Chains A and B, each alone.
Chain A
Amino acid sequence: MIKLNSIDVTFNNSKISVEALKDLNLEIGIEFLSVLGPSGCGKSTLLRLLAGLQAPTIGEIEINSQDSFSYGIVFQDYSLLPWLNVRENIELGLQIRKAPEQERRKVSSHLLKQLDLDEASNLLPHQLSGGMRQRVAVGRAFAQSPTLLLMDEPFGALDAFARMELQLSLSRLYEDNPHTVVFVTHDVEEAVFLGDRVCVMTERPGRVRRILDVNFARPREKALKRSRGFLDIRYEIEDMLTPP
């Protein structure tokens, strides 16, 4: 369980000070939380905060977990090390933790299979398509099995087809092995399709505007996107972000 208690983040430089987040309250359990909001609303600041790369100006973050805290992160791009092949990239976190070779192999083989990357395991990132690269990045984050998984618009640069594929892959991984996932996106459909809850943020300074429960059954299939219940939630959020 992660609790953010009335968090303020203010960036000061000599001339101006910018409030990125103001009075942000949020509780995150073991769930897939999608975060939506207008650009510049502090979504990335929220992720940096959760990763420990940014300290709150005011407020506190409580983390309750049995194991020691660790996080995995996937960015929109530059998530891979270009000198490591696909398998080595996936095993990176385990390698750093000095996990035994056998364990590393087991985890990476399993993920390679689930992500449909079996045949690419010896290729270097520059030999892959954008979609495959992000799949490797997702695999790397899951391989660490972190307490918290952060995703910063990971599919934002992909074409519609690759995006759909990745949404399904990510869904499968999550359903097999639920983690706490915080997934930042611009795409309302994506947020609803993937999330257990969708957190809609206000414009800057960012604050939680509303949290919607999305209780569709898992595993989720492509057809869900056309169902009545799905479209209702999707349109409700869209209207919230851009009033009709």
Chain B
Amino acid sequence: MSATGRVERFFLPPPADTLKEGYNLLKTSEFWRDFGYSMFRIITGFLLASFIAIPSGILMGRSRKFAALLEPSISFIRFVPMPAVIPLMILWFGSGEWGKVVIICLAVYFQLVLMVADTVAYVPQAYYDIAHSVGATRWQQLTHFTIPAALPEIWDSLRINFGLAWSTLVFAEILGAMSGLGYLIVRSQRYLLTERVFVAVIVIGLLGIVTDKFFTLCYFRWFTWSEQVKKAERENDQA
């Protein structure tokens, strides 16, 4: 449509121009700087969130007391959309690097912790019966039974929440940053470099697909047994 010239190019640039612009952009150091900043923020924020969410989720899944203590407040925060509190976060943590990292970490944490807790709470009793019969201590119950049984689902939750981390990151960078792929979008829009907006959006989408594939590949490499168990359960349900 845009190639015919009927639409102003700053609304919808022709695909060929977008490709060309994309090629040019990839050659600039400024693009790679933005890319690097975004990667740093998302990876640090996500890892931080995982390191806190997985242990506390396991604790919540295993201990009713702990769950009762934390779940109401976590559920409340979980339903508050992150973009609504990003301005507040920027106010508190500043618009520097750690501000962004904290935003991603919080957005991911509150989703992830409940998913982990849920997975852990649904580890079948049969495994604990085996644990009891081999005389496992409480700690061994956790390390030899609960965690391996829950790990595939936890990994899957990580995959799902990485998507959330992406959207939070871009949003945070649009609202308050001087670098990153989100900032690239704002800057380009300001100067009506619409091709660049498209390039940035495409790059973000591709990165999302790549990370998702990475998680899925690892899942099938490490947890073949889990797929097989699920399949058997489905067949049992049908029978």
Are A and B co-members of a single complex?
yes
From 140 to 162 in chain A, residues with beta carbon under 8 angstroms from any chain B beta carbon are: 141, 144
B145 nearest CB across to chain A (Å): 7
Task: Give which listed residue, B135, B148, B225, contacts A93 with CB less than 8 A.
Answer: B135
Tell whether A96 pairs with B140 under 8 Å between CB atoms, given A82-B226, A125-B225, A126-B229: yes
Is A144 a contact of B225 with CB atoms below 8 Å?
no
A residues less than 8 Å from B130 (CB atoms): 73, 79, 81, 92
From 56 to 90 in chain A, residues with beta carbon under 8 angstroms from any chain B beta carbon are: 70-73, 75, 78-79, 81-83
Is B132 a contact of A51 with CB atoms below 8 Å?
yes
Tell me if B224 is interfacial: C-beta within 8 Å of chain A.
yes
Specify which of A51, A83, A97, A144 lies most central, judged by the most chain B CB atoms within 10 Å of its CB.
A83
Is A73 a contact of B133 with CB atoms below 8 Å?
yes
For chain A, which range describes its interface: under 10, 10 to 19, 20 to 34, or 35 or more residues?
Answer: 20 to 34
**A101-130, CB under 8 A of B: which get 1 and which 0?**
000000000000000000000001110000
Tell whether A75 pairs with B129 under 8 Å between CB atoms, given A81-B148, A126-B232: yes
A residues less than 8 Å from B124 (CB atoms): 78
Tell whether A124 pairs with B224 under 8 Å between CB atoms, given A83-B148, A96-B144: yes
Specify which of B124, B135, B232 lies most central, judged by the most chain A CB atoms within 10 Å of its CB.
B135
Task: Give which listed residue, A75, A83, A97, contacts B225 with CB less than 8 A.
Answer: A83
From 144 to 195 in chain B, residues with beta carbon under 8 angstroms from any chain A beta carbon are: 144-145, 148-149
From 20 to 58 in chain B, residues with beta carbon under 8 angstroms from any chain A beta carbon are: none
Complex CA–CA separation, A144 to B136 (angstroms): 12
B residues less than 8 Å from A83 (CB atoms): 148-149, 223, 225-226
Can you name the residue of chain B whose Cβ is closest to the Cβ of A125? B225
Tell me if B4 is interfacial: C-beta within 8 Å of chain A.
no
Complex CA–CA separation, A32 to B103 (angstroms): 63
A residues less than 8 Å from B140 (CB atoms): 96
A134 nearest CB across to chain B (Å): 14
Is B225 a contact of A96 with CB atoms below 8 Å?
no
Tell me if A53 is interfacial: C-beta within 8 Å of chain B.
yes
B78 nearest CB across to chain A (Å): 30
A residues less than 8 Å from B225 (CB atoms): 82-83, 124-126
B residues less than 8 Å from A70 (CB atoms): 135
Complex CA–CA separation, A176 to B148 (angstroms): 34
Is B228 a contact of A126 with CB atoms below 8 Å?
yes
B residues less than 8 Å from A141 (CB atoms): 133
Is A82 a contact of B228 with CB atoms below 8 Å?
yes
Tell whether A81 pairs with B127 under 8 Å between CB atoms, given A92-B134, A93-B135, A144-B134: yes
B residues less than 8 Å from A125 (CB atoms): 225
**B115-135, CB under 8 A of A: which get 1 and which 0?**
000000000101101101111
A residues less than 8 Å from B127 (CB atoms): 81
B222 nearest CB across to chain A (Å): 9
Is A96 a contact of B134 with CB atoms below 8 Å?
yes
Complex CA–CA separation, A81 to B127 (angstroms): 7
Is B134 a contact of A75 with CB atoms below 8 Å?
no
Given contacts A95-B144, A97-B134, A124-B224, 17 further A-B contacts (CB under 8 A): A51-B133, A72-B134, A73-B129, A81-B145, A81-B148, A81-B149, A82-B226, A83-B148, A83-B149, A83-B223, A92-B130, A92-B144, A93-B135, A96-B144, A97-B135, A126-B232, A144-B134
Q: For the complex of A and B, list the 9 residue pairs with the smallest distance between their C-beta atoms, beginning with the closest.
A: A126-B228, A78-B126, A93-B134, A73-B133, A82-B225, A96-B134, A83-B148, A96-B136, A83-B225
- The 22 listed contacts between A and B (C-beta, < 8 Å) are A53-B129, A53-B132, A70-B135, A73-B129, A73-B130, A73-B133, A75-B129, A78-B126, A82-B228, A83-B148, A83-B223, A83-B225, A83-B226, A92-B134, A92-B144, A93-B133, A93-B135, A96-B134, A126-B229, A126-B232, A141-B133, A144-B134
